[in-house]
Amino acid sequence: MRVSFFFAIATLLPLQLINVSAALAQSSPLRIEITQGVIEPLPFAIPNFIAENTVSNEYPQNISRVIANDLTGTGLFREIPETAFISQVRDFSASVQFADWKAINAQALITGTVAISGDNLVVQFRLFDVFANSELGQGLQFTGPISTWRRMAHKVADSVYSRITGEGGYFDSRIVFVSETGAKGQRQKRLAIMDYDGENVSYLTDAETLVLVPRFSPDGDRILYTSYATGNPRIHELYLNSSQSRVLEQSTGTMSFSPRFAPDGQTVIYSLEQGGNTDIYSLNLDNGEVRRLTSGPSIDTAPSFSPDGSRIVFESDRSGGQQLYVMSVTGEQVQRISFGEGRYGTPVWSPRGDLIAFSKQNRGRFHIGVMRVDGSEERLLTASFLDESPTWAPNGRVIMFARETRGELGRFSLYTVDISGRNLKQVLTPAGASDPSWSALQK
């Protein structure tokens, strides 16, 4: 089930029916500034996309639903139900009756068509700024195999989101995570992969071997994870196109874990335990060269690269409890950045470079939080019995994490939350789920 290869990237053909200069000249009021924290979601209308030629009606309907769910799921948009519509859109290229959409306060209008072409679906869409009486950006066309209809819908939603917020989208992305079944004392864990919204789940390993904390490569083609397959925990690399995996470290008397790719995709940073002491190392996948980055008797773990590849944030208990530190890629210029009450763990550098997400344990509660790279402006976004394993959406505006409920029947599930702390939502999965890792936007 690899979509990345056969989804011959949507031939991104601007439609030829738009007066581009007029659209650009309009300074549009249709704009959401995410940073300000949105109180009132922007109302939009998305009439079911028009079915063209012989395409079955389910595709236009389902594609319209996925687009609407993507947008409303952000908490930034509110869909106006079809029952409120005054006019219908029956002709994609006809001019829009803006007055009819203004009357129901639809600030944005999304129209589209779905056609079939051989084994492919062809999806076209246009976005209108209703109160400016104009189109926002150009119409776009996506072409892909029928089985990838969800991806095409996500791409439309990403375009709409991006045009209105000015930020990159995050809907056409995937999550690798640990699927959990069985009682709390006998958990069985498998690596699993799914779309960002919990759809299209498939499994990468069986339940025989304990596996932990998978991480996507920058290109989304490989997964790093920790497995007990050879006895002690060892870091592994799995190729998604072949499902083949290999162990990356197997020196005797050690345990290796908590691996993560550098932005170049060819360097891996990880923790190596030897004689009870855990330090951070880097491994060059091209030449096998290993470099030790931290030393001393403390537990140094959970390293994460800055997006420019120049620095690493990690956790260490060198000062007593777990705290966050930043160092250069060579292990120098170490600086502690967390100073608040409690224990800080699993720091993750934002893809935008501006923030560090972390989990925090304080006074019997766990939190997901963010702070600036220098440790300032710490904000806690969640609170529960146990929240851990934050991972960033590709646009650095949303964080997914794992939450475990308390007690004998305690179970892990995945949640997302905005960096504003709003819009906390569960991501539905077929079984328990932990250790999420969010991919980059698919190409």
Partner 1 sequence: MNYMRLALSMFSIFLVAACSNSLGSDVNEFNGQSDLANISTGSVSDVTSPAHFQQVLGDRVFFAVDDSSLSIDAQAILDDQANWLLENVNYDAVIEGHADERGTREYNLALGARRANTVREYLISRGILETRLETISYGKERPIEICSNESCYALNRRVVTVLTSGVSG
What is the rounded CA–CA span in Å between residue 61 and residue 81?
Answer: 14
Residue with smaller CB distance to partner 1, 2 or 343: 343
Question: Is 255 an interacting residue with respect to partner 1 (CB under 8 A)?
Answer: yes
Among 158, 172, 195, 435, binds partner 1 (CB under 8 A): 435
- d(CA 376, CA 70) in angstroms, rounded, equals 32
Distance (Å, whole) CA 86 – CA 30: 21
CA distance 441 to 443: 6
258 contacts partner 1 (rule: CB under 8 A) = yes
CA–CA gap between residue 71 and residue 135 (Å, rounded): 18
Instruction: Give the Cα separation of 177 and 216 in Å (integer).
Output: 10
345 part of the interface to partner 1, by CB under 8 A: yes
Stretch of residues binding partner 1 (CB under 8 A), selected from 49-57, 155-163, 288-296, 340-348: 340-348
DSSP-derived 3-state class of residue 11: coil
Closer CB to partner 1, 147 or 232, in the complex:
232
As a residue count, the chain comes to: 443
State yes or no: residue 376 binds partner 1 (CB under 8 A).
no
Q: Kindly state whether residue 346 participates in binding partner 1, applying the rule CB under 8 A.
A: yes
Footprint on residues 386-425 left by partner 1 (CB under 8 A)? 386, 388-389, 404, 406-408, 410
Binding to partner 1 in span 141-170, by CB under 8 A: none
AA identity, residue 301: T
Tokens of 213: 């904390």
- Binding of partner 1 at residue 183 (CB under 8 A)? yes
Q: Which of 2, 78, 102, 187 contacts partner 1 by CB under 8 A? A: 187
Supply the minimum distance, in Å, between the C-beta of residue 351 and partner 1. Answer: 21
275 binds partner 1 (CB under 8 A): yes
Q: Smaller CB distance to partner 1: residue 14 or 410?
A: 410
Residues 6+ apart with CB under 8 A from 194: 174, 175, 177, 200, 201, 202, 429
User: Does residue 180 touch partner 1 according to CB under 8 A?
Assistant: no
Closest to partner 1 by CB, 158 vs 435, is 435
Q: Does 184 bind partner 1 (CB under 8 A)?
A: yes
| Closest by Cα among 303, 397, 433 to 358 | 303
CA-to-CA dists, residue 164 to 101, 155, 286, 392, angstroms? 18, 14, 42, 21
The verdict on 195 binding partner 1 (CB under 8 A) reads no
79 binds partner 1 (CB under 8 A): no
Give the position of tokens 């079955």: 56
CA 143, 144, 150, 156: dihedral to nearest 10 degrees? Answer: -20
Instruction: Tell me the closest approach of the beta carbon of residue 406 to partner 1, in angstroms.
Output: 4
Alpha-carbon separation of residue 149 from 66, 83, 208 (angstroms): 10, 26, 34
Which range, of 38-46, 101-109, 299-307, 419-427, touches partner 1 by CB under 8 A?
299-307
Residues in contact with partner 1 by CB under 8 A are 183-187, 210, 212-213, 231-233, 255, 257-258, 271, 273, 275-278, 299, 301-302, 315, 317, 321-322, 343, 345-346, 359, 361, 385-386, 388-389, 404, 406-408, 410, 434-435
